[in-house]
Structure 1
């Protein structure tokens, strides 16, 4: 593979990137880096009607968060400026004139209303209207006019679009790196618009021209563009340019079987589809970043969403992904997205990032208590609780009782206590007296203490009461470890607090 590999990620600024978009960026990045090539960011903003403010900054921030920053393009500069298609209209005009001169494009003067009428007429007789070689000679376009008639029409400032002229009767053979050989009968193609009525280029013209001028060697894009491959190949041939290598990525499908993941469904799905937070009609839609996912865990998950490195291994650093990546190992069929798998990835990375958990927990403790704790104590708490969490921010919820007393008690269990409060208070006071007598307040001795409760049912009930007093609920790590770590004095104080709370509620 040549080291002159150049790929581009070319999103439209019509909203935030979703899983499919950022995966396309990732695969382009991995491919470029593997071969020492260049990863270009181009903004394809030809459709101004669908432009959404802040989309561009969102795209750049997302790429930075994922650590897959471009080498060149919008926000990064480069030799092929400008990288916004809206600033390249004169370039497209130049190349559309070349197609017109060659006879591979033509003016079409029908309005939207004219075409809607045509579609309706065809539908009424059970047919589907297509602006193609069979119909174009019966329509209002320059193919049916003399040069004099065309000049008069253009001189009258009549509204028009420019269409690409498809020649019928050809079995067009193309190659896709992922899907292999693809053959399309040009009889089934329509004459797509290349230049819109207001003078703006369509995606088909703009992307083809830009990919050529920016020396793009590989176009790696979503499967939704596969249907445009024939047109783009014909455009390259018409211009006399060498076509780049194409690779069309599989769709990311919803696990419930209801089609592909789409931005339109973002606020209705029970899992996030955006890498970062997005505001839609004053509604904040959280992304993976805000929900606590690590960017490298997110990228690792995304890389395997359609690409198979071979073997059983699933955890890869970004550098390892670059080294292993291959377009030929991308699957053809759609891939199902499973949020449970994303949890799993974040968990694996969390275990590797204990230093970050340590820093987070230290800050939480400093915010919630004036007590001083040794570093070893923090590490012991982390090692006891890390297997219970998937995100850094969950560590406090699962470890606070090692640092502060519970501020409330589980209402369900607490209400059960109230029904037999006198007996329970008596048992707790007796237990307090016994705990005072334990000289070495360690888990081994505490286990022996609980063996004094001969009946299993009674032992379980007392352990639940102790856990409620220490934690505030029936959750948490081994109760004997909690006792030992917070110490005798604090343990007895928490028992007193529970007793006083029961008395208050009677």
Structure 2
């Protein structure tokens, strides 16, 4: 089914498991589903796949909802929104899965298995070889195990009546080829001989991902399953399940992995070692613009038909198509993301930038007046890649420097600097007013009196004010800081460096 040829309504779903904070790769999957749905006037559905209660994290769902809302990816059906196929939590649909598992047993496509984990492991050890170090539980081995195929009917019924722990397994065909068309990868084939008889229903009565997602995708009339490449090996099991039920499968599209700059899938280790955040929350808290992150992620695996780089969400919807999604993994480039964010930050109007900055300040409990907020915004907006940089790279707006950059001291502080700053402090202290013109003229007068270039005064002043020798225009910066703060910081840098 091509991404624009189907006459059936387009319905896609994003179906995360609430096992932790939303990964940046998960947001890209949600984005591609959103773009595809809106491109074809379809529905974007959120479904919570929470059947693995052992890995459930209570805060994960709230993090997910916040990330989608912050990113502007609103869904048509799902938790909190409702829809014709609710509930949208798999944990609330267990009766449906049990009914379909029984249907597969009755039709001969699945069976009860009473083996313990130790018994399954022992089987794998018995059959292990250099060529096959982890043998499958399937047609080649199932008859030597304890299941409803190897045991007689009376024994099976007695075990069920006694409540013996058991799972339900899919009966994988022997030595068959499973073939399906992938919207990204073309024709994909798998051989069943190496596949396990997949567990469909666990011993606690809850389904595995494989049964639940097939049943739900069918009941929710999902037309396209757009998900990460890591689910590609599971797809033949899903295709066989659709066949067993007699259902038409949706179209499949498996997205390329987001790779670390050092190869391998982008992981939490990269966050720790390379400074690349892997969770959406980290980007929000760091002050990235959601529009920039969405723009960057859209082009991380998909490429437009021209050289355009900056897209609004509406423009992405118009341009997006699955046939321009690549197959190979794509390296995450934080510098490129920062470039995108810089473009969006520079394009913001001053009020929006100031309000985004206020949010950052509020989170750090730094109160500020509107007048000073607007002044800081004006001084920094064209100098930062993200709003959060104001609190990291320009912390001196809110706190006196506690250290001075060694390279800047080396280049900006001379044997004469303390004398020049002391002279400037006297000029500023005696001035009847303190504004930009006074600041400017004071530095020029000191430079002329001491027969030095203006830079010999500016560099140590900037070092005193900010701890470094680069930043916003020095006259505006000193005027903003005010006389008291300027004099205090001049005294501090002299004490520290002399």
TM-score (norm 1): 0.81
Q: Which residue of 2 aligns with 1:356?
A: 352
2:36 pairs with 1:31: yes
> Residue 41 of structure 1 contacts residue 70 of structure 1 at CA under 8 Å; is this kept in 2?
yes
> Residue 410 of structure 1 contacts residue 468 of structure 1 at CA under 8 Å; is this kept in 2?
yes
2:479 pairs with 1:474: no
Match of 1:153 among 159, 164, 183: 159
Please state how far the C-alpha of 1:341 moved relative to its aligned partner. 1.6
What is the distance in 1 between the residues matched to 2:213 and 2:335?
Answer: 37
> Residue 428 of structure 2 contacts residue 483 of structure 2 at CA under 8 Å; is this kept in 1?
no
Q: Compared with structure 1, are the counterparts of its residues 461 and 243 closer, same or farther at alpha carbon in structure 2 (3 Å cutoff)?
A: same
Q: Compared with structure 1, are the counterparts of its residues 39 and 472 closer, same or farther at alpha carbon in structure 2 (3 Å cutoff)?
A: closer
The more displaced of 495-504 and 239-248 is: 495-504
Please state how far the C-alpha of 1:267 moved relative to its aligned partner. 5.0
Match of 2:26 among 21, 24, 40: 21
Q: Compared with structure 1, are the counterparts of its residues 447 and 178 closer, same or farther at alpha carbon in structure 2 (3 Å cutoff)?
A: same
Please state how far the C-alpha of 1:358 moved relative to its aligned partner. 3.9
Please state how far the C-alpha of 1:144 moved relative to its aligned partner. 2.2
Q: Compared with structure 1, are the counterparts of its residues 481 and 81 closer, same or farther at alpha carbon in structure 2 (3 Å cutoff)?
A: closer
2:91 pairs with 1:86: yes
Unaligned ranges ≥5, structure 2: none
Please state how far the C-alpha of 1:192 moved relative to its aligned partner. 0.9
Q: Which residue of 1 aligns with 2:301?
A: 306
Please state how far the C-alpha of 1:302 moved relative to its aligned partner. 1.3
> Residue 136 of structure 2 contacts residue 194 of structure 2 at CA under 8 Å; is this kept in 1?
no
Q: Which residue of 1 aligns with 2:142?
A: 136
2:257 pairs with 1:251: yes
Q: Compared with structure 1, are the counterparts of its residues 491 and 464 closer, same or farther at alpha carbon in structure 2 (3 Å cutoff)?
A: farther
> Residue 45 of structure 1 contacts residue 85 of structure 1 at CA under 8 Å; is this kept in 2?
yes
Unaligned ranges ≥5, structure 1: 277-286
The more displaced of 302-311 and 240-249 is: 302-311
Corresponding pairs, count: 482
What is the distance in 1 between the residues matched to 2:56 and 2:289?
Answer: 30
What is the distance in 2 between the residues matched to 1:57 and 1:83?
Answer: 15
What is the distance in 1 between the residues matched to 2:367 and 2:277?
Answer: 31
Please state how far the C-alpha of 1:121 moved relative to its aligned partner. 2.3
Q: Compared with structure 1, are the counterparts of its residues 497 and 179 closer, same or farther at alpha carbon in structure 2 (3 Å cutoff)?
A: closer
What is the distance in 2 between the residues matched to 1:441 and 1:113?
Answer: 82
What is the distance in 1 between the residues matched to 2:197 and 2:488?
Answer: 83
Q: Which residue of 2 aligns with 1:242?
A: 248
Q: Which residue of 2 aligns with 1:184?
A: 190
Q: Compared with structure 1, are the counterparts of its residues 61 and 477 closer, same or farther at alpha carbon in structure 2 (3 Å cutoff)?
A: closer
Please state how far the C-alpha of 1:29 moved relative to its aligned partner. 1.0
Please give the residue correspondences for 1:38-437 in structure 2 after superposition, counting only pairs within 5 Å.
38-123=43-128, 127=132, 128-257=134-263, 259-263=264-268, 267=272, 270-276=275-281, 287-353=282-348, 354-359=350-355, 385-395=380-390, 410=404, 413=409, 424=420, 428=424
Give SS of 1:184's match: strand
Please state how far the C-alpha of 1:445 moved relative to its aligned partner. 8.4
Q: Compared with structure 1, are the counterparts of its residues 107 and 221 closer, same or farther at alpha carbon in structure 2 (3 Å cutoff)?
A: same
Give SS of 2:178's match: strand
Please state how far the C-alpha of 1:146 moved relative to its aligned partner. 3.3
Which structure is larger by alpha-carbon Rg, 1 or 2? 1
Q: Which residue of 2 aligns with 1:279?
A: none
Give SS of 1:288's match: helix
Question: CA offsets, 1:305-328, max 9 Å, x none?
Answer: 111113221111111111111111
Please state how far the C-alpha of 1:260 moved relative to its aligned partner. 0.5
Question: CA offsets, 1:246-280, max 9 Å, x none?
Answer: 001111111122x112357655552211111xxxx
> Residue 369 of structure 1 contacts residue 404 of structure 1 at CA under 8 Å; is this kept in 2?
no
